[in-house]
């Protein structure tokens, strides 16, 4: 178990963290009696309660929703799909890329941090209106702006749970690029290069997304996905060594065409 959070009252249900067991991601909840429950995303009531607790504990979430005129609704169906699919797959890829990179260099971050951040990275999508999240066409600029706050929303939701700062940072910046052309902007100056943990979660997220069918496009083949990311290497968005590790991972473990 990785996370600790403050207890409030007897009826509290809190998101406690995420674990992966036999390659399946589970969100972990905890009530005030200290009972830890593993859920696969079926318990919608429990999830809504947990998210409400996160909202109550951090007014920054509501402020952000108000700023973008987003009506509060907790989309547990989204979380169920994300946990069972994309976040789990991102975690598998991130673990693989981490291990390959760690053979030659020191990632300066624990693999457990990268794993847990990968499993939680898109949590903020639970608050993005489903008509934007599931729009079967290109988003307009206003919708894109709203969609892009999901990483900050996830960060703020988890912050109220006492999640480790290292995990929070990876969640917040999982859409950042090596050349810092992604979002959100860094509030303070980071070291010259984007930390390796962020690069790993970012490339795993991108590859996982490209390899899935989305409402607006088909699933891309392994080669198509790798070519798109190679273009990002040439644009300075992805570090060549991280890309090479992903290629190695894909050739070893992504056996699907």
Q: Give the binding site for Fe ion (CB under 5 A).
A: 122, 205
Which string of b and e fits 125-135 if b means at least 16 CB within 10 Å? bbbbeeebbee
Q: Which is nearer to Fe ion, 116 or 122 (CB)?
A: 122
CB neighbours of residue 150 within 10 Å: 22
Tokens standing for residue 112: 């457990």
To Fe ion, the closest distance from the beta carbon of 7 in angstroms equals: 30
Retrieve residue 122's tokens: 């898109």
Instruction: State the minimum distance, in angstroms, from the CB of residue 103 to Fe ion.
Output: 26
The owner of tokens 């007897």 is 10
Which is closer to Fe ion, CB of 29 or CB of 207? 207
Residue 17 or 124: the one with the smaller Cβ distance to Fe ion is: 124
List the Cα angle 86/122/32 in 5-degree steps: 110
How far apart CA 103 and CA 21 sit, in angstroms, is 24
What is the C-alpha to C-alpha distance for residues 26 and 20, in angstroms, rounded to an integer? 6
Q: Residue 153 and residue 13: Cα distance in Å, rounded? A: 19
- For Fe ion, give the closer residue by CB, 122 or 232: 122
- Shortest gap between Cβ of 6 and Fe ion (angstroms)? 27
Tokens of 54: 């996160």
Nearer to Fe ion, 122 or 169 (CB): 122
CB of 158 to Fe ion, least distance (A): 14
H or E stretch at 16: strand 13-21
For Fe ion, give the closer residue by CB, 105 or 228.
228
Supply the minimum distance, in Å, between the C-beta of residue 36 and Fe ion.
26
In the complex, what is the shortest distance from the CB of residue 210 to Fe ion, in angstroms, rounded to a whole number? 11
Nearest to 172 by CA among 78, 68, 60: 60
């Amino acid at each position: 178990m990785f996370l600790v959070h403050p207890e409030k009252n007897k009826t509290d249900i809190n998101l406690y963290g995420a674990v992966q067991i036999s390659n399946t991601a589970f969100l972990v909840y905890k009530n005030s009696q200290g009972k830890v429950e593993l859920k696969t995303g079926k318990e919608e009531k429990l999830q809504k309660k947990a998210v409400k607790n996160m909202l109550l504990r951090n007014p920054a979430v509501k402020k952000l929703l108000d700023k973008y005129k987003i009506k509060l609704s907790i989309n547990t169906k989204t979380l169920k799909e994300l946990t069972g699919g994309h976040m789990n797959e991102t975690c598998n890829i991130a673990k693989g890329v981490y291990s390959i990179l760690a053979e030659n260099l020191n990632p300066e971050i624990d693999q457990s941090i990268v794993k847990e951040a990968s499993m939680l990275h898109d949590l903020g999508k639970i608050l993005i209106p489903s008509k934007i999240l599931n729009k079967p066409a290109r988003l307009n600029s206003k919708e894109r702006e709203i969609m892009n706050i999901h990483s900050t929303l996830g960060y703020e939701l988890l912050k109220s749970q006492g999640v480790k700062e290292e995990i929070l940072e990876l969640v917040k910046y999982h859409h950042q690029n090596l050349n810092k052309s992604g979002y959100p902007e860094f509030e303070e100056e980071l070291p010259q290069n984007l930390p390796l943990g962020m690069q790993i979660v970012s490339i795993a997220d991108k590859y996982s997304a490209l390899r899935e069918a989305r409402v607006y496009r088909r699933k891309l083949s392994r080669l198509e996905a790798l070519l798109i990311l190679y273009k990002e290497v040439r644009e300075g968005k992805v570090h060549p060594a991280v890309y090479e590790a992903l290629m190695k991972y894909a050739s070893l473990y992504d056996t699907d065409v």
